[in-house]
Chain A
Amino acid sequence: DAGVTQSPTHLIKTRGQHVTLRCSPISGHKSVSWYQQVLGQGPQFIFQYYEKEERGRGNFPDRFSARQFPNYSSELNVNALLLGDSALYLCASSLVVGRYNEQFFGPGTRLTVL
């Protein structure tokens, strides 16, 4: 079975632009979470979606938005890019939302903002 897939692998944008990152969860998984990982730090939680509804949001500005589609894939959108948005964006899927639910991570999208 395919794992979590993310696209694109790498992306270079300039300040002020907009970016859309995509994630396909493991087949059968209904929950998707997004994380931002700045170089040298641990991941920071951005969003969690379950059954197409937002279940959690981290401490990120409104420039960050996301959605989940009926097939459980997800998009993360970032508007008005800043240099500080340069990071590895990780998507994780899990069967459901709840305690002890193991998350499976994709390889990430490396975003560079110039």
Chain B
Amino acid sequence: SQQGEEDPQALSIQEGENATMNCSYKTSINNLQWYRQNSGRGLVHLILIRSNEREKHSGRLRVTLDTSKKSSSLLITASRAADTASYFCATEKDSNYQLIWGAGTKLIIKP
């Protein structure tokens, strides 16, 4: 079963705009991670935020985590055509360090 749910399922924006994706989960976690996947191939790790952190930045990426609401958001600023991909959140459970994944948000950046 999947732990996280991403919202929206699909997002289409113009190049240069900001893209925001959300993730909700159900159980307590060690950390939450965001990954990118191009064309149904391998996953690329983007950023990890620990359960005791509230915000984290990496380049054009900004991730927030609200453990009280069991939700996270990924913001991509100044989007580029190369950002077109599917984005997944994955939560690491405290008990067994396994990653539980959401269904992903498909992001399309229009030139």
How many residues from A make CB contacts under 8 Å with B? 32
The answer on a CB contact under 8 Å between B45 and A45 is: no
| Residue B111 at the chain A interface, CB threshold 8 Å | no
Beyond A56-B98, A99-B31, A102-B48, whether A107 also contacts B41 by CB under 8 A is yes
CB–CB A100/B31 < 8 A: yes
B-side interface size class: 20 to 34
Write out the residue numbers on chain B whose beta carbons fall within 8 Å of the beta carbon of A98: 97
Q: How many A-B residue pairs have CB under 8 A?
A: 71
A56–B103 CB distance below 8 A: no
Q: Is the interface of A mostly helix, strand, loop or mixed?
A: loop
Interface of B is mostly: strand
- Residues of B with Cβ closer than 8 Å to A? 1-2, 4, 30-31, 33, 35, 40-45, 48, 50, 88, 90, 92, 96-104
Q: Would you mind naming 28 contact pairs between A and B with Cβ atoms under 8 Å apart?
A: A4-B42, A35-B101, A39-B40, A41-B2, A41-B104, A42-B4, A42-B102, A42-B103, A45-B98, A45-B99, A56-B97, A59-B1, A90-B42, A90-B43, A99-B31, A99-B97, A100-B30, A100-B48, A102-B33, A103-B45, A103-B99, A105-B42, A105-B43, A105-B44, A105-B45, A106-B42, A107-B42, A108-B42
